[in-house]
A and B are shown apart, each in its own frame.
Chain A
Amino acid sequence: MKFFGLYKNTQVFKIALIVAIVVIGYIASVFYTQMQKLDTSVELIASSNKTQYELEKLLSIMGNYEMSLRNYIITQNEVYLEDRFLNRGEIEACIKNLKKIAGNDSAKIKDIDSLKKLIDYRFKLFRDLLLIQKSPRKNTSELYIKLLESSSCTESMHAFVYKRINAEISKIKRYNTNHQFELNDSIISAFLLVLLSLLILLLSFNKMNVDINELKKTNDELKFTNLSFKNAEQIAGFGHWKYNLVKNTYTFSDNFYRLMGVEPRAFEPSLENVGKFLHPDDYNSVMEVHKQSLIDHQPTSIMLRYLLQDGTVKYIMSVGSFTRNSNGDLVKIGVNYDITAQYKKTLEIEESNKQLKTINAELESFNNIVSHDLQEPLRKIQMFVSRLEEKEIDLLTPNGKEYFVKIRLAANKMQTLLIDLLNYSRVAKGDKIFVKLNLKDLVEQCIQDLSVDIEEKKAEIEVMDLPEINGIGFQMEQLFVNLISNSLKYSKENIPPKISIKSEKISGKEMYNSKIISNTDYHKIVVSDNGIGFKQEYADKVFQLFKRLETDSKYTGTGIGLAICKKIMENHNGFIKVKSRPSVGTKFSLFFPK
């Protein structure tokens, strides 16, 4: 596995390849010198063989001359002297050849020179013998002496030549052994060379195979990634593009074309062709931003519109940035995505927001009219009622007096209702300026404000230590005034109300809207009373606008007070809960975020 890892490492493989090539080069040069040596030894052997041949040829020519002379002496027939007898030409050719073979070897040239002297001497003897034989007074003894001399000269020539030949033979033998060795070496070198080459070839082939497989795998993965990317582009509605600043070429993805409402590769990827799809109103600004970015290489983010061939308008977000590709060319790459749906939705939201604001403003002014402008005539009614009551009441019958009282009560009730409505709209509108509030001081102030009612009901109010919270001053006052007056309002007949306002630790089980409320996040303040209470099932109803549980005329509620409390708590990112039991009492819990 480790080897395979090394094998896969191209760097290591490259180094191995270089080493192998160096080794092959070395072996090849060794092989070349061996072959060169072999060549010279072959040449040497050839020249030795030639020398032998020339020497033997010389001997045989000389032998022929000798035989011809003998035959002449014996037969006295001149025929034997005719055929090229004593022709120096042949001999000279042999000597020349020998000298050519010897080359620059001075020892050999000396040998040849001494051989030539011997031959010259022998030729002299030939001529002497011929002269003796041809003379009319033939001296037989002198002939014998010359013949003997000739024989010994021939023998010494033979001896000389054979000595030379033997020397050449032994030389050849030596050369041959060397040659044999060199041949062996060369074979080994050649074998090694072939073996190594084969090994490298095999390794290379294998490595190539491995690489190709790897490439195939990578290619497959790339294909898959590409396909996924194309799918993703289509699903997510974006297309990407590239611009090579060096080669001045654009590349567009398939979905880039689809965004423009055409088939992939419907036109040559170029800026001009894309420009045809730009909304005419956007054309100049988009081109300017793009071209500027090609100068300063800053990323771009452009919102633009396509005007498609079928006339539809698409809103497109186009972002681009610069990078370098593997060739080192500067490339601007970008993504265009279709934000038409988003854009339209934003427009819709903006539109409905506007509508909501108008409706809200209308509601507010309506509320203002209802609560404020209605107070004016109501006040008049109340004034005239009080005028009548003061001056004219005695003129009425007892029935009339009773109706009159009812008119006054109804008018007063309407006034409370209008004031509550005004308060509610004030809270809902909310100038939300949060300040640090000391709740204990604030509650004391509320009690002060309600002192008339408290005295009238003979209520007992207990205020314990309360935390500081961040809140809107007048809303907090409103909250506690509403809660305390609620307790005063719904108290039991003939039993003085007891109201307690205190801070409580949040137990682990506290929940609101299936969210766990913990002591670390919230303050809990409890306002409890011993009033008439209500059934727990109505707990949610009491906080709804105009929802009243008690409709008996002795309870003067408007159904707005607790709705205001709920609204105030919402304004403070808190909430209000209520626990109540009929004829036992009610306990409101307020939760303020810390």
Chain B
Amino acid sequence: MTNNLTPLQIFLADDDEDDRIFFSEAIEDIRMKNKLTLFNNGKDLMDYLLDSDASLPDILFLDLNMPYKNGLECLKEIRADNRFKDVSIAIYSTSSSEEDIENTFIEGANIYIKKPNDFSELKKVIKGVFQMNWQFHISGLNKETFFFSI
């Protein structure tokens, strides 16, 4: 997926302004060629995605706890639409509850990231996800590898 010619299309849907800032700052610091689009909630994200002209992301970072439309609902809708079959979805949440991990795994998320407590760790996580061999990751996907840890 990573390739130096076309910038990586990254979407982040998160209702928390601070987290959006942390995320964009971390991506800036990584200095990788990419294009980040931010959404303030799940509804905005879906409205954008369902517009047929929209350019699709390579990786979508999806917060779970959002107003109007939460992450799980977005996940279900996206996975129900064949148009988005190539979009890799990374859940990006404060929660690390078994229930949330289980549900998102079942609904077809590709990876689960617990929001780190440390900025350098956040950078490491994002870097790790960008450099991930998605093909390999998806083929060997199971519940143990689903939860992403550095």
Instruction: State the A residues within 8 Å of B (CB).
Output: 372, 375-376, 378-380, 382-383, 386-387, 390, 415, 474
Contact = CB atoms under 8 A, between A and B. Distances in A.
A380 B119 contact: no
Given A375-B94, A376-B94, A415 B119 contact: no
Contacts of A415: 117
A383 B94 contact: no
Interface string B73-97: 0000000000000000000001101
8 contacts: A372-B95, A372-B97, A383-B22, A383-B117, A383-B119, A386-B121, A387-B119, A415-B117
B120 A380 contact: no
B95 A382 contact: no
A383 B95 contact: no
B117 A382 contact: yes
Interface string B96-135: 0110000000000000000111111110000000000000
Contact of B119 (A375, A386, A474): A386
A390 B117 CA distance: 14
A390 B95 CA distance: 26
B118 A386 contact: yes
A376 B65 CA distance: 11
A379 B118 CA distance: 8
Residue among B18, B22, B118 having the largest count of chain A Cβ atoms under 10 Å: B118
A379 B94 contact: yes
B117 A379 contact: yes
Nearest to B115: A379
Main secondary structure on chain A at its contact with chain B?
helix
A423 to B, nearest CB: 11
Given A372-B94, A390-B119, A474-B98, 18 more contacts: A372-B95, A372-B97, A375-B94, A376-B94, A378-B117, A379-B94, A379-B115, A382-B117, A383-B18, A383-B22, A383-B117, A383-B118, A383-B122, A386-B119, A386-B120, A386-B121, A387-B119, A390-B120
B41 to A, nearest CB: 16
Contacts of B115: 379
A474 B96 CA distance: 14
A149 B57 CA distance: 191
Contacts of A390: 119-120
- A-B pairs, 9 with minimum CB distance: A382-B117, A386-B119, A386-B118, A379-B117, A387-B119, A376-B94, A383-B22, A380-B18, A383-B119
Contacts of B22: 383, 387
Contact-residue size bin, chain B (C-beta under 8 Å from the other chain): 10 to 19
A91 to B, nearest CB: 153
Nearest to B97: A372
Contacts of B119: 383, 386-387, 390
Nearest to B118: A386
A474 B119 CA distance: 30
A329 B72 CA distance: 74
Contacts of B117: 378-379, 382-383, 386, 415
Contacts of A380: 18
Contacts of B122: 383
B115 to A, nearest CB: 6
Contacts of A372: 94-95, 97
B28 to A, nearest CB: 13
Nearest to B120: A386
Contacts of B118: 382-383, 386
A415 B121 CA distance: 16
A93 B138 CA distance: 161
Nearest to A431: B98
Nearest to B65: A376
A453 B115 CA distance: 22
Interface string B57-79: 00000000000000000000000
Interface in B11-43: 18, 22, 25
A276 B5 CA distance: 96
A221 B98 CA distance: 72
A378 B119 CA distance: 13
A387 B18 CA distance: 12
A422 to B, nearest CB: 8
Nearest to B18: A380
B24 to A, nearest CB: 13
A378 to B, nearest CB: 8
A380 to B, nearest CB: 6
A576 to B, nearest CB: 24
Contacts of A387: 22, 25, 119
A414 to B, nearest CB: 10
A308 B25 CA distance: 80
B18 to A, nearest CB: 6
Contacts of B95: 372
Nearest to A412: B117
Contacts of A386: 117-121
A375 B93 CA distance: 11
Nearest to A419: B96
Nearest to B25: A387
Nearest to B29: A390
A159 to B, nearest CB: 156
Nearest to A411: B117
B121 to A, nearest CB: 8
Contacts of A474: 98
Nearest to A381: B117
A387 to B, nearest CB: 5
Nearest to B98: A474
A379 B95 CA distance: 11
Contacts of A378: 117
